Amino acid sequence: MNISRQLDTLLQDFPNCETVAFADISTGLVLCSSTRKTMSRGQLDALCAAAIELLNGKQASLASATLDPNGNAKVQEALLMEDGLLNIFVRSSVVSTEALCCICVPEIEIDSFIDRACSELANFDTD
Amino acid sequence: MNDINRLKSKLEKLGAEEFGAKSDGHVFKVSNLDEVMTVMLREIDETLLGRELEFRNDRGDMIGLEVSGRRLLCVSKVLPERLATSFKSLLKVATFDAHGPEIDDMARLLDAFSEEATKLKVTSHGLSRAMGSSEVGCSPDSLAQAWSLDAVETTEENEESAVASFLASCRDIASAWIQLKEGSVTRKSGDEALIERLVSLASDGFSIPDIGLKQGGNSAEAKRCIVLRSPSLEQHSVLFAENENRAALVLFPAENLSQVISKWHSAVA
């Protein structure tokens, strides 16, 4: 199954997820996306930029440095809740520069959604 | 409480005293023992003349405190009879310092009084007895220290702040949290070592970055939170929530993520 189909299936399996985008967070490029609503290129780029800021930015460094005694932990998952929407960003455990950027409603089953997102990301690199 | 409300409250109290009118009292939203204690200490702190303050919860329980010169003199009455019997040794016993056994007993009384209480009504009456010159009483600061209350929060926080109500609802699912107002820590709770880390994180400038997802930019009124998770962060996730000039930093076990998000969603709804 190609990545585009996998994203469509993820969206189909989680009705409370509105948009999911696969991004390279080292370059800031959205490589593939699936969405229930119209998203402009600019909106997808903003979503990717948010992933970069939250997973690799200053706040992620501060959290890692303060909370990890060894100081080398990478933030794997980040959530932003604002205006009744829950943005979920999940970094690949296989390729740390790849991530899924998702727009959901807060009622989503967060734990199972993140587990599924992690396994999808791992599948992208093994398929 | 802002200055206008504080002045209005004072005028109402003065009016009641001067003209014998009965105050309807003030009602506060409470959700735990700390909040009940905080309301009581603030009321004591605002009482200059000799008064009997009556605190009545929404279950019908009542505690009367004799207060003067911003100091607690004694517990004057307790209702219902069941509570009064259990804490009989406390009634009418003068409080001199914060280390006496009556202060510990009072904390236990308040614990029982706070159970399942969601509202606290406070009324005030003139003292029906003359005060003795040896009645020193106990200050709210000493009581707060004896009861391990980290800070006395304003009633405005209890009534209006989404951040405060979120923190109150996280009591059982967070490992540690700090509340910030204009960058200063106003309240804290939980494991001391974790609190230190949160304070350090706050002083390093941890906040929600301006990531521009919201069209039209981020306003000060926005209610936003971020959660960062890593398997290596000692199994904890860190949350930063903000609304207007108030913010919170929370550390919670990773498995509580969905509950924490749900609590924030409810607090801002």
Same domain (yes/no): B172, B45: no
Same domain (yes/no): B10, B34: yes
- Cα dihedral B22/B23/B27/B32 (nearest 10): -70
Residue ending a domain, among B94, B117, B146, is: B146
| pLDDT confidence of residue B232 | 64
| Domain boundaries along the sequence of chain A | 3-126
| pLDDT confidence of residue B257 | 93
- A43: closest chain B residue by CA: B213
What would the 3-class secondary structure string for B135-175 be? CCCECHHHHHHHCCCCCCCCHHHHHHCHHHHHHHHCCCCCC
Same domain (yes/no): B10, B142: yes
| Average pLDDT over every residue of B244-265 | 90
Interchain CB distance below 8 Å, A67 and B236 = yes
Using CA atoms, how far apart are residues A100 and A90, in angstroms rounded to an integer? 5
Report how many domains make up chain B: 2
pLDDT tens for residues A43-67? Answer: 999 999 999 999 999 999 888 887 7
Residue ending a domain, among B101, B122, B146, is: B146
pLDDT tens for residues B177-234? Answer: 998 887 788 888 888 888 888 998 998 888 888 776 664 445 556 789 999 988 765 6
| pLDDT confidence of residue B13 | 47
Interchain CB distance below 8 Å, B206 and A106 = no
Interchain CB distance below 8 Å, A46 and B233 = no
Q: Which two tokens stand for residue B59?
A: 């279950």
Q: Closest partner residue to B222 among A46, A82, A111, by Cβ?
A: A82
Using CA atoms, how far apart are residues B240 and B249, in angstroms rounded to an integer? 5
B38 in any annotated domain: yes
Superfamily the domain A3-126 falls into: Dynein light chain 2a, cytoplasmic (3.30.450.30)
Q: Which residues of A63-79 are buried (b: 16+ CB within 10 A; e: fewer)?
A: bbebbbeeeebbbbbbb
Q: Is B208 on the interface with A (CB under 8 A)?
A: yes
pLDDT over threshold 70, residue B1:
no
Interchain CB distance below 8 Å, B211 and A77 = no
Per-residue pLDDT band at B9 (split at 50, 70, 90): low
Interchain CB distance below 8 Å, B251 and A66 = no
Using CA atoms, how far apart are residues B107 and B100, in angstroms rounded to an integer? 12
| Average pLDDT over every residue of B107-122 | 88
B238 in any annotated domain: yes
How many helices (H) and strands (E) chain A has is answered by 4, 5
| pLDDT confidence of residue A19 | 96
DSSP string, B108-132: HHHHHHHTT--EEEEEEEE-SSPPP
pLDDT over threshold 90, residue B6:
no
Using CA atoms, how far apart are residues B215 and A111, in angstroms rounded to an integer? 28
CB-side neighbour CA atoms (13 Å) of A57: 18
Same domain (yes/no): B88, B55: yes
Quote the ipTM score. 0.93
Task: Check if the beta carbon of residue B75 is closer than 8 Å to that of residue B90.
Answer: yes
Contacts of A84 (CB under 8 A, 6+ apart): A105, A106
How many helices (H) and strands (E) chain B has is answered by 9, 10
Same domain (yes/no): B93, B188: no
B153 in any annotated domain: no
Using CA atoms, how far apart are residues A47 and A21, in angstroms rounded to an integer? 8
pLDDT over threshold 60, residue B22:
no
pLDDT tens for residues A82-122? Answer: 888 999 999 999 999 999 999 999 999 999 999 999 999 99
Using CA atoms, how far apart are residues B260 and A125, in angstroms rounded to an integer? 32
Same domain (yes/no): B97, B169: no
B234 contact residues in A (CB cutoff 8 A): 67-69
| Average pLDDT over every residue of B240-249 | 89
Pick from B4-8, B46-50, B194-198: least confident: B4-8
Pick from A17-26, B17-26, B61-70, B100-109: least confident: B17-26
pLDDT tens for residues B66-102? Answer: 988 888 888 899 999 888 888 888 888 777 655 667 7
Domain that holds residue B171: 161-268
Using CA atoms, how far apart are residues B154 and B165, in angstroms rounded to an integer? 13
B15 in any annotated domain: yes
State the residue for tokens 């740390």.
Answer: A96
Q: Closest partner residue to A75 among B207, B214, B230, by Cβ?
A: B230
Q: Closest partner residue to B226 among A47, A80, A111, by Cβ?
A: A80
B155 in any annotated domain: no
B228 contact residues in A (CB cutoff 8 A): 54, 59-60, 63, 75, 77-78
Interchain CB distance below 8 Å, B201 and A80 = no
Same domain (yes/no): B123, B11: yes
CA angle B58, B59, B64 (to 5 degrees): 80
